[in-house]
């Protein structure tokens, strides 16, 4: 694995590390705005070769039928990543702008460990289930349910938690017997390209089974949804792009998995510890500069205690100053790019136009001339109809909204085109009752943690289709076949 300072990453196509047909493009450190190095820039011809390699590897080898071999290969990748974890940590902090503290969890070490779940699941999975003998239509028949790999998977991934999302697709897809073409976001190409190096140099994964295509051109990734040689597209990103992926995939009626946006609500009931709940809400909203689809970005609090809640959450978020992600105490690093910083700022400007005010934050930190930093910001004085309360901002921004009791809190939480996640704080019985009524895929009740390799993740409504992680996530990559054999 090349040193960070010398890195010029390659594509992985058919088992070989190669240059991109379009040359290379720069990858930038969002905390310093310095150019880190270059990534191979794939063109359409590169993607075509990658898809063809994945198709041949699925159709012409025994990868899809040799579960034991696949399990060994996935564990080899896990072990290779563990062996290079400090190099990967340096890369992740520099390219993603991820605070170093997060690399011990979902930004790096957690996803590496999660590969064990994919391998273990494939090792013990009931690939065939005997339904026994019956006489449908009077014919003695033995029925068997077979679970089989879908085929070629096109994976398109974002920049916010690249290791977590890349591996949440790669691990289950491979363990289930599929071949894959991975197209990461151009903002974080190295986080994917390094997997190509480790696979080529430290695993027995056959040529063509994994292909990694970095490109500055989004149209190259769109080829995966349109190409008839691809059987499934697994996409994580914005809801707007997800719609395009679904439309493109419809042309060949391929399976489309979508993990999309969120505008999740943090509900504080009137019997909750208000200061404790608000402290957690503020910490969560500022973590990794708010760049998480499941981060709760609407704080819904009792109207009678609205001012106290605004003050409490502003105390927490105001103390979490944007900082150097290499510093162990940093919670809020930079956003990923100048483009994203400007997008977040446009929403902050909109909040003022809509009649809101800032209890803390509101723009770029005065003490940072470089880096794509935004102050953790609390918006007060708006209701759930405001655009900053309805649209995904993807920055360290929390809007505080008043509710008039449990029913109203639930109504506000559900009054959203999204349904990815949510949090409830209150007495156990009331909080559980409210959680049950929220139209979301995951709910944190009084500080519970839902993120785990064995727990499915995904959302309702426009937050996506399907589930990632857990047994449900593994089975997203499988087809179901019924074999009926006549009994003589």
pLDDT digits (tens, 9 = 90+) for 363-387: 999 999 999 999 999 999 999 999 9
Instruction: Judge whether 439 lies within some domain.
Output: yes
pLDDT for position 7: 86
The pLDDT tens digits for 12-30 are 999 999 999 999 999 999 9
Same domain, yes or no, for 335 and 421? yes
Instruction: Judge whether 451 lies within some domain.
Output: no
Task: Say how many Å lie between the first and final Cα of the chain, rounded.
Answer: 60
CATH code, domain carrying 393: 3.40.309.10
* CA separation for the pair 327, 325 (Å, rounded): 5
Same domain, yes or no, for 282 and 366? yes
The pLDDT tens digits for 460-485 are 999 999 999 999 999 999 999 999 99
- Contacts of residues 413-417 at CB distance under 8 Å and 24 or more positions apart, as own/partner, are 413/265, 413/267, 413/298, 413/300, 413/438, 413/439, 413/440, 414/438, 414/439, 415/384, 416/263, 416/265, 416/390, 416/461, 417/239, 417/263, 417/390, 417/461, 417/462
pLDDT for position 488: 87
* CA separation for the pair 447, 24 (Å, rounded): 44
DSSP single-letter state for residue 8 = B
The pLDDT tens digits for 334-351 are 999 999 999 999 999 999
- Is residue 2 over pLDDT 70? no
Same domain, yes or no, for 238 and 272? no
Question: How much of the chain, in percent, has pLDDT values that exceed 70?
Answer: 99
User: How much is the mean pLDDT over the chain?
Assistant: 97
Instruction: Judge whether 454 lies within some domain.
Output: no
pLDDT for position 202: 98
The pLDDT tens digits for 238-267 are 999 999 999 999 999 999 999 999 999 999
pLDDT for position 3: 57
Same domain, yes or no, for 343 and 405? yes
| Average pLDDT score over residue span 157-181 | 98
Can you give the residue range of the structural domain that contains 293? 265-445
Same domain, yes or no, for 255 and 273? no
Same domain, yes or no, for 211 and 356? no
Check: CB of residue 396 under 8 Å from CB of residue 345.
Answer: no
Same domain, yes or no, for 237 and 316? no
- Is residue 324 over pLDDT 70? yes
Instruction: Judge whether 116 lies within some domain.
Output: yes
pLDDT for position 355: 98
Q: Which residues are catalytic?
A: 259
Same domain, yes or no, for 199 and 244? yes
Instruction: Judge whether 456 lies within some domain.
Output: no
Same domain, yes or no, for 21 and 104? yes
Q: How many domains does the chain have?
A: 2
Same domain, yes or no, for 319 and 252? no
Q: Give the chain's largest Cα–Cα span.
A: 83
Same domain, yes or no, for 294 and 429? yes
The pLDDT tens digits for 401-416 are 999 999 999 999 999 9
Element (H, E) at 78: helix 67-83
pLDDT for position 5: 63
Same domain, yes or no, for 188 and 331? no
Instruction: Judge whether 339 lies within some domain.
Output: yes
The model carries a pTM of 0.97
């Amino acid at each position: 694995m090349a040193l960070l300072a010398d890195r010029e990453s390659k594509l992985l196509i058919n088992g070989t590390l190669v240059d991109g047909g379009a040359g290379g493009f720069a990858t930038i450190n969002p905390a310093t705005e310095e150019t880190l190095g270059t990534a191979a820039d794939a063109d359409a011809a590169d993607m075509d070769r990658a898809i063809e390699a994945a198709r041949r590897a699925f159709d012409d080898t025994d990868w899809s039928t040799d579960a034991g071999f696949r399990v060994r290969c996935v564990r080899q990748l896990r072990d290779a990543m563990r062996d290079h974890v400090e190099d990967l940590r340096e890369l992740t902090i520099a390219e993603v702008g991820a605070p170093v503290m997060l690399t011990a969890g979902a930004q790096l070490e957690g996803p590496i460990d999660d590969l064990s779940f994919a391998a273990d699941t494939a090792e013990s999975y009931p690939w065939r289930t005997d339904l026994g003998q019956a006489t449908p239509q009077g014919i003695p028949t033995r029925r068997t349910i077979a679970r089989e790999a879908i085929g070629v998977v096109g994976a398109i991934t974002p920049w916010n938690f690249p290791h977590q999302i890349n591996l949440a697709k790669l691990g289950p897809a491979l363990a289930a017997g599929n071949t894959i073409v991975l197209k990461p976001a151009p903002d974080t190409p190295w986080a994917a390209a390094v997997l190509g190096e480790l696979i080529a140099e430290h695993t027995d994964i056959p040529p063509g089974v994994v292909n990694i295509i970095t490109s500055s051109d989004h149209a190259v990734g769109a080829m995966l949804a349109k190409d008839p040689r691809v059987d499934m597209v697994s996409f994580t990103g914005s809801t707007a792009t997800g719609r395009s992926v679904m439309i493109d995939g419809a042309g060949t009626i391929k399976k489309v998995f979508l993990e999309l946006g969120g505008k999740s609500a943090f509900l504080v009931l009137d019997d909750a510890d208000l200061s404790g709940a608000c402290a957690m809400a503020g910490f969560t909203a500022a973590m990794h500069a708010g760049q998480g689809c499941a981060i709760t970005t609407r704080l819904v609090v009792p109207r009678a205690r609205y001012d106290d809640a605004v003050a409490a959450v502003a105390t927490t978020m105001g103390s979490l100053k944007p900082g150097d992600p290499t510093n162990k105490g940093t919670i809020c690093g930079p956003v990923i790019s100048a483009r994203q910083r400007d997008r977040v700022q446009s929403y902050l400007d909109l909040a003022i136009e809509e009649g809101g005010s800032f209890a803390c934050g509101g723009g770029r930190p005065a003490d940072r001339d470089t880096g794509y930093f935004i102050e953790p910001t609390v918006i007060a004085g708006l209701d759930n109809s405001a655009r900053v309360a309805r649209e995904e901002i993807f920055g360290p921004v929390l809007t505080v909204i008043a509710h008039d009791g449990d029913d109203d809190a639930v109504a506000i939480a559900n009054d959203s085109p999204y349904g990815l996640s949510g949090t409830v704080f209150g007495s156990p019985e009331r909080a559980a009752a409210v959680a049950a009524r929220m139209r979301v895929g995951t709910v944190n009740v009084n500080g519970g943690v839902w993120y785990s390799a064995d727990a499915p993740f995904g959302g309702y409504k426009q937050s996506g289709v399907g589930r990632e992680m857990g047994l449900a996530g593994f089975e997203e990559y499988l087809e179901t076949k019924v074999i009926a054999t006549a009994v003589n």
